[in-house]
Structure 1
Amino acid sequence: MKGLLYLSLIILIATILPLVGCNGSSEEVFKGYQLPPEREEGTTVELVIHETYTDEEHQVFQTIVDMFNEDNPDITVKVERIPKGAQWSRLTQALATKETPDIARVEMEYIATLADRGTILPMELFWAEDHKETLVEGAILSNTYNKRVWGIPDQIYTSALFYNVRLLEESGSDIPDSNWSWEDLMQLARKVSDRNPDVIGLSYGSSLWELSPYMGSYGATIYNSENKRIEIDSPEVVKALNLLYGYQLDVEGWTGSPIQSFINKDAAMVILDSNSIPKIEDSGIRFGVTKLPHGPAGSVSNIDGTSMVIFKDTEHPREAYEFLKFLTSSKIQALWADELGQLPVNKDSFKNVDVNKHPYLEIFMEQVSNVIPKPALPNYSQMEELFNMEMQKVFKGEKRLEHVLMDITSELNGETQKD
């Protein structure tokens, strides 16, 4: 077998192999589940929701919950805060004891795992088409497993290009804009480093999340849902990453923490997500943000975030969906964006966001319209961990790119490479 991975990786992969092609429990839930009878007029309902927001986010969320409760006197939503680090252990315990809440906020990477275990309900049981069509498409696709949507996104983020205005001006360089290609950007990055060897023109990481925009702009997909195959070794992925690897050989732009390189003024440009804005603003750097450069498939970014799921054992699934519909409505999402400076998940709210208060949101709202979805796969986090570990070795010069991509893809798909 070519490119045999280390024993430790084989052990890790053994936990991932069920990742491709699992669909039993999720399909059984959809086919076998019957919605409970609609409640009688005049009766009241109490819903419990587990959430993991920060203190600032929680205050805004509680305001939204209070608004819903006031508008719907027959439904009372109660909020239980869960420490973010304890989320999965609490969920596992709740599932084991069959004491799940009605709704829970979870990381998108857990969606497929929960669906595959048959513990959450697909949104197809409830969808109002006029609701679904208003939500950011990439976020919906990131919640889609076995052709059904299992969560409603409540918080999303995507990446764009940040640049240090002073460092670019000192190198006599142009300010990048949305018309640039990746080749244009690499040329600019080389120019910056040539003029000032102490400055990295473009700093980048090696994680699957960080490299997804390069892949997506070349038309790559990480997972092909039709043939249920991970395609990290596709020609599009190889071409995209070879462009970056060629730059690495010339300039060595790879760093363990691109955001820290940017804050330390060691890097002139960096690709960061929308959640990075407060930290960059606090650094005092004079910076700008623009859309990512384009490849053959256009300017494509990544997407991630959290979603709200409805548990199968809830006695009030319709009311749970009504709350999520309210939470992700245009009015409420504009409120969320204005108060927190975060991307709304409802496209109709974009025009109502106060971009004077949060000027950089305009770029991210435009960028999020074209993203490479995060694959909804059981044990996605283990797949990402394997990819990240191996790609670090590529950028350190320890392994060849094509061999690593073939090895990872082969192992994740349960294939055997032959000499």
Structure 2
Amino acid sequence: MKKKLNKVMAGMIAGAVAVTCMAPMVYADDEVTLTYCTWNENQRDSIQATIDGFEAENPNIKVELQITPWGEYWTKLEAAATSGNMPDIVTMHTNQIERYVKGNVMAAMDDLADYDEEFSYDNYDEGITGLYVYDGVHYGVPKDKDCVVLVYNKKLFDNAGVDYPTAEWTWEDLDTAAEKLTDRENGIYGFNAYNNDQEAWGDFIYANSGDFLNEDGTASGLDTPEAIDAMKFFMELNEKYSPSKEMQAEVDAVSMFATGTVAMQTIGNWQLSYFIDNETIKDDFAIAMLPSTPDGKRSTISNGLALSIPADCKNMDAAKKFVAYASSRKGMEEAAEGPAIPCYNGVDQVWADAHQDLYDTQVILDSLQFGRQLRGSEQKNEWGQIMYSYVGKIFDGSMNVEDAFV
């Protein structure tokens, strides 16, 4: 795997995204309609709340929210970039931003104070802000942040007489509880160890001081003892306490937990909204921090999305005015009822207060203190495919961890 990843890292992304010449700007004093594209259907209402607040203050600017499923979003966005027909505002991901910046597709966003005198990048988490900065230029304004937690089924714990997870849990406690909770004859699984880098096995590798890449990002980092040991432990959980490979292949992790047959699994906090509205699980789920390693190390993979504007945006002034508003304290407080944690400093507590009757939001705030940024680079699409193919072989049983990682 390392040789393959090194080969990928040596090259640049083929077929860089093309960009047309910048079209004439339509200024914010004119009647304009902006298009705002994202993939987050479960954030529709909260994003719309911010749009409504903006339109109330700017009646000459309308914002049309367009939601495209994740599986289609990036393909359509790249096609739009190539044809010079991108939306005015796009939700950007850390895995994708660099290739768009290197392709000269995204606009610099260092002048937002011209649209809101209170705007400052100091208002956001420095780590997330930096993910969208290249050569000292900002190409995205932080929108939200996230982490991964342990979600568990209280009913299954009660039925098995097992104490609920606590912040003091280690991997050993997780293993012990999963064993007691597993009842395969009755279709009950103690822990769903599923295949996902950000929400599952990657968190165990990060907690054990491992990484997907080496320090300078030029080769795989999965050949280290830390990464190998963590993945071995995760796959032991998979073998002993998880649904079958066939079940995991047919049913996604969120839907699997929602069936009420899984006692525990790791999950991104943004997924919790799906359980709140699910009649089967809404009264039975709770969350805890991810367990620490046996020697006390703790980590959760954290990531942050941003709002970006294409360099050829025809409504540049209006788009920047909207992004400045959406990124303000007021704009993010208007969105705080939604599942995403606003990135503006201090508004995460507003979000936590708004959701505290649904689940223990303090768990999420505490988990964020141990966040490690999801590793990405311009070549993530390429080396990621190789990494996922080898991890897939681990999950289907055709390779063991050491053979796949070394």
Shorter-chain TM-score bucket reads 0.7 to 0.9
TM-score, normalised to structure 2's length?
A: 0.77
CA contact (8 A) 2:260 2:280 kept: no
Gaps of 5+ in 1: 30-35, 407-419
In the alignment, which of 197, 201, 205 is matched to residue 190 of structure 2? 201
Classify 1:293/1:153 alpha carbon distance in 2 versus 1 (closer, same or farther; 3 Å).
Answer: same
Distance apart, 1:137 and its partner CA: 5.0
Deviations 1:117-138 (A, max 9, x none): 1211344565899743433455
CA contact (8 A) 2:109 2:137 kept: yes
Query: Who is 2:280 aligned against?
Result: 284
Q: Any residues of structure 2 matched to 1:80-99 within 5 Å, and which? A: 81=66, 83-84=68-69, 86-99=72-85
Distance apart, 1:290 and its partner CA: 0.9
CA distance, structure 2, for counterparts of residue 58 and residue 251 of structure 1: 36
Query: Who is 2:173 aligned against?
Result: 184
- 1:308 match: secondary structure: strand
CA distance, structure 2, for counterparts of residue 254 and residue 147 of structure 1: 48
Classify 1:81/1:232 alpha carbon distance in 2 versus 1 (closer, same or farther; 3 Å).
Answer: same
- 1:326 match: secondary structure: helix
Amino acid across the alignment from 2:221: E
- 1:270 match: secondary structure: strand
Runs in 1 of length 4+ with deviation above 6 angstroms? 19-22, 127-130, 194-197
CA distance, structure 2, for counterparts of residue 238 and residue 111 of structure 1: 30
Classify 1:174/1:395 alpha carbon distance in 2 versus 1 (closer, same or farther; 3 Å).
Answer: same
Identity %: 17
Distance apart, 1:93 and its partner CA: 3.7
Distance apart, 1:214 and its partner CA: 0.8
More deviation, 143-152/240-249: 143-152
CA contact (8 A) 2:49 2:335 kept: no
Residue 327 (structure 2) pairs with residue 328 (structure 1): yes
Gaps of 5+ in 2: none
Q: Any residues of structure 2 matched to 1:53-202 within 5 Å, and which? A: 57-72=43-58, 76=61, 78-79=63-64, 81=66, 83-84=68-69, 86-123=72-109, 131-137=120-126, 139-140=128-129, 142-143=131-132, 149-193=138-182, 198-202=187-191
Amino acid across the alignment from 1:377: S
CA distance, structure 2, for counterparts of residue 163 and residue 103 of structure 1: 37
- 1:161 match: secondary structure: strand
CA contact (8 A) 1:344 1:350 kept: yes
TM-score, normalised to structure 1's length?
A: 0.75
CA distance, structure 2, for counterparts of residue 341 and residue 142 of structure 1: 22
Classify 1:147/1:268 alpha carbon distance in 2 versus 1 (closer, same or farther; 3 Å).
Answer: farther
CA distance, structure 2, for counterparts of residue 129 and residue 242 of structure 1: 49
CA contact (8 A) 1:47 1:320 kept: no
Distance apart, 1:383 and its partner CA: 3.5
CA contact (8 A) 2:189 2:241 kept: yes
CA distance, structure 1, for counterparts of residue 76 and residue 184 of structure 2: 53
Query: Who is 2:404 aligned against?
Result: 404
Classify 1:124/1:103 alpha carbon distance in 2 versus 1 (closer, same or farther; 3 Å).
Answer: same
Classify 1:122/1:373 alpha carbon distance in 2 versus 1 (closer, same or farther; 3 Å).
Answer: farther
Q: Any residues of structure 2 matched to 1:308-319 within 5 Å, and which? A: 308-314=307-313
Distance apart, 1:203 and its partner CA: 1.0
CA contact (8 A) 1:112 1:377 kept: yes
Classify 1:260/1:248 alpha carbon distance in 2 versus 1 (closer, same or farther; 3 Å).
Answer: same
Deviations 1:214-269 (A, max 9, x none): 12212233345645444232332122212223344544567524334423333211
- 1:267 match: secondary structure: coil
Residue 257 (structure 2) pairs with residue 262 (structure 1): yes
Classify 1:96/1:347 alpha carbon distance in 2 versus 1 (closer, same or farther; 3 Å).
Answer: same
Query: Who is 1:409 aligned against?
Result: none
Deviations 1:2-52 (A, max 9, x none): x799xxxx8xx89x8257677xx99xx9xxxxxx99x8xx96585733313
- 2:341 match: secondary structure: coil
Distance apart, 1:182 and its partner CA: 1.7
CA distance, structure 1, for counterparts of residue 31 and residue 213 of structure 2: 40
CA distance, structure 2, for counterparts of residue 120 and residue 323 of structure 1: 16
In the alignment, which of 263, 271, 274 is matched to residue 269 of structure 2? 274
Deviations 1:290-330 (A, max 9, x none): 11112357432223564321222246756644432321223
